Amino acid sequence: MNLADKVLSVNNDLPIRTDAPVHSGKVRSVYWLTDADSKRLIAEKGYNVASDTPLAIMVISDRMSAFDCVWHGEGGMKGVPGKGAALNAISNHWFKLFNEQGLAESHILDIPHPFVWIVQKAKPVMIEAICRQYITGSMWRSYVKGERDFCGIELSEGLEKDSKLVELLQTPSTKGILEGIPGVPAVDDVNITRKNIEDNYEAFNFKSLDDITLYEKLLTEGFDLISNALAKLDQIFVDTKFEFGYVKDKAGNDKLIYMDEVGTPDSSRIWDGEQYRGGKVVENSKEGFRQLLLKHFPDPDILLNKDRMEERLALAVDNELPTEVLMQVSKTYTDIAEKITGEKIVISDNPKAEIVAILREQYQLID
């Protein structure tokens, strides 16, 4: 079988019963179930949610996004073999640990297939909750230019690239474009301070001021749990992004939960511990692919400069990456997933057919 056929690149064309448009992000597609199917599944499967909770099928893909573009390879390779299964396996592992340790629940109710989650509708908190344990990436680039204030936190002079910070830093940014918040520009992905959030907590979708403290607690606890688990595997949890949202429990009360993915190579930087102690940074995350792209193209400013987005999108469309590059990324993702979960990542021959069969036979969601 052709390697390209094993990649699930298009994930918004599954015949899942829905009466709403399919929402497609860079990597995942979301199918909102009909009210009847949501109610039926809640009753049949005994999900711990209110009986009128809207449910969705979330299907991951193997698409490779970086610098806000989706990249492809030669030979019709529209993604990275094994990437979707690796991401889901890692998230599932951490969410399970979060539950066992009593941190908070997630939006995931069921996992019918390695590429598929059944999720409950959540009202997202409009914050990209970012935690940093080391100074690297965009923070280092800004630091070198003389910036010392990050989200209201003052960094000291004399820090070195890729060095460990004195304490774990929370550096939140906006999720989406938020209008009418004093001191917060109406563009996506803007750094914000805790005071910005406190003064406008309802605009960020928080239900109360106390919930800001709760989100910070869940962010730190989640980070520490993953960091400690990775340390046992001699991997360094460098930084990560979490997302939060509200759902209702069976009694109709609001509760704050983890959303999206956690602790994955897409949402985090993970470094090899042994290599780091030897003075070398080896990325076990998407950052390795980003660095590769920066070296691959003669003008890296296109990838870093938001004002050149049109050129960047054209670059992604017009350039087929070598197969060995995508297979190197595949190895990074599947290796770290197998290390974290202790289980083999199986690259399916036909993931779409498998998903359709399971959702039809076991969940009656496909006619």
Contact 134, 238 (CB under 8 A): yes
> Could you tell me which residues come within 8 angstroms of residue 342 by beta carbon, excluding any fewer than 6 positions away?
none
Percentage above 90 pLDDT, the chain: 87
- Of 186, 184, 181, nearest to 203 by C-alpha is 181
Of 83 and 2, the structure prediction assigns the larger pLDDT to 83
pLDDT at position 179, please?
Answer: 83
Instruction: For residue 90, count other CB atoms closer than 10 A to its CB.
Output: 28
pLDDT digits over 14-41, tens only?
Answer: 999 999 999 999 899 999 999 999 999 9
Residue ranges and CATH numbers for the domains of the chain are 3-122+344-361 (3.30.200.20), 123-277 (3.30.470.20)
Reference 20, options 52, 46, 54; nearest CA is: 54
Q: What are 296-333's pLDDT values in tens digits?
A: 999 999 999 989 999 999 999 999 999 999 999 999 99
**Residue with tokens 């001699």, as numbered in its chain:** 234
Q: Is the dihedral of CA 251, 252, 257, 260 positive or negative?
A: positive
> Measured between alpha carbons, how far is residue 71 from residues 76, 197, 306, 309 in Å?
11, 35, 17, 14
Give pLDDT, residue 102: 95
For the cut 70, the answer to whether the pLDDT of residue 362 exceeds it is yes
Across the chain, the runs of DSSP E, i.e. the strands, are 23-24, 28-32, 55-60, 64-66, 69-73, 108-113, 116-120, 123-124, 127-134, 149-150, 153-154, 164-170, 173-174, 235-248, 254-259, 268-272, 320-321
Q: Which two tokens stand for residue 269?
A: 């930087």
From CA 250, how far away is CA 253, in angstroms rounded? 8
Residue 1 has pLDDT above 70, yes or no: no
pLDDT band per the 50, 70, 90 thresholds, residue 262: very high
Query: Residue 344: its pLDDT value, please?
Result: 97
Q: Check residue 327 and give its pLDDT.
A: 94
> pLDDT for 174-183, tens place per residue?
988 888 888 8
* DSSP helix, strand, coil percent of the chain (3-state; round to 5): 35, 25, 40
pLDDT of residue 2 exceeding 80, the answer is no
Element (H, E) at 216: helix 210-231
Q: Name the one residue in this structure whose structure tokens are 């396996």.
A: 89
pLDDT at 195: 93
239 contacts 136 by C-beta, under 8 angstroms: yes
Which of 264, 268, 304 is CA-nearest to residue 134? 268
In percent, the amount of the chain with pLDDT more than 70 equals 100
Contacts of 273 (CB under 8 A, 6+ apart): 231, 234, 235, 236
Q: What is the pLDDT of residues 46-96, one digit of tens each?
A: 998 999 999 999 999 999 999 999 999 999 999 999 999 999 999 999 999
3-class SS letters over 98-152: HHHCCCCCECEEEEEECCEEEEECCEECCEEEEEEEECCHHHHHHHHCCCCEECC
Q: What is the pLDDT of residues 265-303, one digit of tens each?
A: 999 999 999 999 999 999 999 999 999 999 999 999 999
pLDDT score, position 250:
84
What sign has the CA pseudo-torsion 185, 186, 192, 193?
positive
Q: What is the pLDDT of residue 251?
A: 85
pTM of the model: 0.94
Note the pLDDT of residue 326. Answer: 94
Confidence of residue 152 (pLDDT cuts 50, 70, 90): confident
Residue whose C-alpha is closest to residue 216's, from 130, 291, 138: 130
Which pair of tokens denotes residue 75? 């030979």
**In this predicted structure, what is the pLDDT of residue 177?**
85
